[in-house]
Each structure stands twice: as structure tokens, then as C-alpha cells.
Amino acid sequence: MENQQEYIDKAVELAMTHGPKLLLALLVLVIGWWLSNRVVKLMHRTLVRTNAEPTLVKFLQSIVGIILKMVVLIIFATTIGVETASLIAIMGAAGLAVGLALQGSLANFAGGVLILFFKPFKAGDEIEAQGYRGVVQEIQIFNTILLTRDNEKIVIPNGNLSNGCLKNIFAEPTRRVDMTYGISYEDDIGKAKQVIADVLAADENILKEPAPDIFVSAHADSSINILVRPWCKSEHFWDVHFGTMENVKLAFDREGISIPYPQRDLHIKTGQVSSS
């Protein structure tokens, strides 16, 4: 009986000594956990309102949630009297070692976050970067997946994309289509320009404003070059390019306008052949 009473007295003493601290630590844990969830939900709503990429929203939500809950656990451990200085030092050293070992992957990870946040391109855009051109199929955290026009899949690390130059081909709603047509020096320039203008006017995919440019750009070795620059919606770029190339050739044939090819005149003299 005396031993039992002694144990009860010790339990009561421990409860009186450490009970308030334990209750405070539990209260900190519950409130901290609740606050961290609230912060994550608030961040999620804010990112959604700013039209952030869903991949970035989920990733940031996960990372911020983990960091906040780790902070809450450290505060909880400190409150109940656990020495956390050595634990934090060990976690910092481990983080540094992992960072050095994975610095390439971390650069790609940071590049992915920057791409998803600042949106220099999005899925469905056609871009040209790192010597490759294709349609963006997916933006992952570490890599971006392109699909080329001939159906090849290209994987480009996000670190290279975020640190290098890239061209977003169809980012703007309209584009200018640049084409050059050569006519013979014997052909009528005014007539050729009018034929081209008629072809452009007949194409409903070509915008009236801004008006197309048609002008002589060069006196080449074998031709007078006419530069043609119509505007169209970005999605009609290739239709306008290939369609105009074909229609101008057919119109030139109907109007008797020739498209010359390189040639050389030979002057034959007695005993020798000279060329010019």
C-alpha cells in the first residue's frame, strides 16, 4: 500500500510539474496544425484566382504544407523540453549535402517553378529553344516535353529553358508571313505586284488590316525579287504560307509571268569559249 501511495504521489507530482507544459505543447500543436492548413488553403485560393498553372498550385501547396508542419513540430518539441538545436543542425547539414548532390536537379526544379509561375509559354504553344522546335505537350517540374511536327518527342530540362533564349512562335494572336517571289527582268513589275495583290485579296485567311506589303526587295543575279508580307491569325499561318506559295505560282502561269532560275550566257568566239 505504501509503494502504491508513493507511485501515486510521484504521478501527481509529475502531472503538476509537467502537465501544464504538456497541455500547452498539445495546444500549440493543434493550433499550429490548424493554422498551417488554413495558410495552405488561402494560398491555394490566391493562386487559383491568379490563374496559376494547376501543376504549380499543387506543388507549392504540398511544399508549403510540409514546411509549415515541420515548423509546428519543432515548436511542439521545444515546448515540451526537447533540445532541438542539434536536430536542426543535423537537418541543415543533411539538406546541404542533398543540395550539393542534386544541384543539377535543383536547377531544373527551380526552372520548372519559374516557368510555371511566369508562364513564358504554356501547354499547346509552339516554341523554339535549345535547337529544337515543337508543340509543348507537358510542363513537368523538372522537364518540358515537346512534340515536333514530324511526331518526335523532345525532353528539355527546365533549367536550360529558364536560363536560355526561347521563341514562342504563336504567342501573339496575329503573325506576319514573309515570302519572296522572283520574276524575270523582262516581266512587268507592276503587273506582277497586281497579280500577287489579287491572290492575297482572294484569301479569306489574310487580314485586311494591317494591309499586306508588296514591294521590290532586290535586283538579284537572275531575277527581280518581290517581297510579300501579309498578316493573318496565328492559327492560319501555315495555311496562308503554303496556300499563297501555290496560288501565286498558278496566277503567274496564267498571266505569263515567269519565275526565272539561275542561268549563264555563253559567248562563242573563234578558237575559244568565254562565259559571262
Reported as a pLDDT band with limits 50, 70 and 90, residue 49 is confident
Give pLDDT, residue 265: 65
Q: How many CB atoms lie within 10 A of CB 172?
A: 9
Enumerate the CATH 3.30.70.100 domain ranges in the chain, comma separated. 174-255
Higher pLDDT, 12 or 178: 178
Is-contact 217 227, C-beta < 8 A? yes
pLDDT for 11 beyond 60: no
Give this prediction's pTM: 0.61
Specify the range with the lowest mean pLDDT, choosing from 70-74, 120-124, 208-212.
Answer: 70-74
pLDDT for 100 beyond 60: no
The CA-atom distances, in angstroms, between 212 and each of 42, 173, 236 are: 50, 17, 15
Report the first-to-last Cα separation within the chain, whole angstroms: 127
52-90 burial, b if ≥16 CB within 10 A, otherwise e? Answer: bbebbbebbeeeebeebbeebebebeebeeeeeeeeeee
Contacts 24+ apart (CB under 8 A), 211-216: 216/189
Domain at 174-255: CATH code:
3.30.70.100
Higher pLDDT, 52 or 130: 130
Which CATH architecture describes the domain 2-101?
Answer: Orthogonal Bundle (1.10)
pLDDT tens per residue across span 211-247? 999 999 999 988 999 999 999 999 999 999 999 999 9
- Please check whether the domain covering 121-168 is classified as CATH 3.10.20.30: no
Rg for the chain (alpha carbons), in Å?
36
Reported as a pLDDT band with limits 50, 70 and 90, residue 44 is confident
Enumerate the CATH 2.30.30.60 domain ranges in the chain, comma separated. 121-168
Reported as a pLDDT band with limits 50, 70 and 90, residue 36 is confident
Specify the range with the lowest mean pLDDT, choosing from 7-21, 111-125, 244-258.
Answer: 7-21
Give pLDDT, residue 50: 75
Give mean pLDDT, residues 41-68.
77
Give pLDDT, residue 40: 86
pLDDT tens per residue across span 152-202? 999 999 888 888 889 999 889 999 999 999 999 999 999 999 999 999 999
Give mean pLDDT, residues 124-130.
91
% of the chain at pLDDT higher than 90: 38
pLDDT for 128 beyond 60: yes
Higher pLDDT, 27 or 93: 27
Give pLDDT, residue 94: 64
Give pLDDT, residue 61: 78
Highest averaged pLDDT of the listed ranges 89-98, 113-122, 183-192 = 183-192
Q: How many CB atoms lie within 10 A of CB 251?
A: 16
Mean pLDDT across the chain, nearest whole number?
82
Give pLDDT, residue 214: 96
183, three cell numbers: 520574276
Highest averaged pLDDT of the listed ranges 24-28, 82-86, 134-138, 177-181 = 177-181
Enumerate the CATH 1.10.287.1260 domain ranges in the chain, comma separated. 2-101
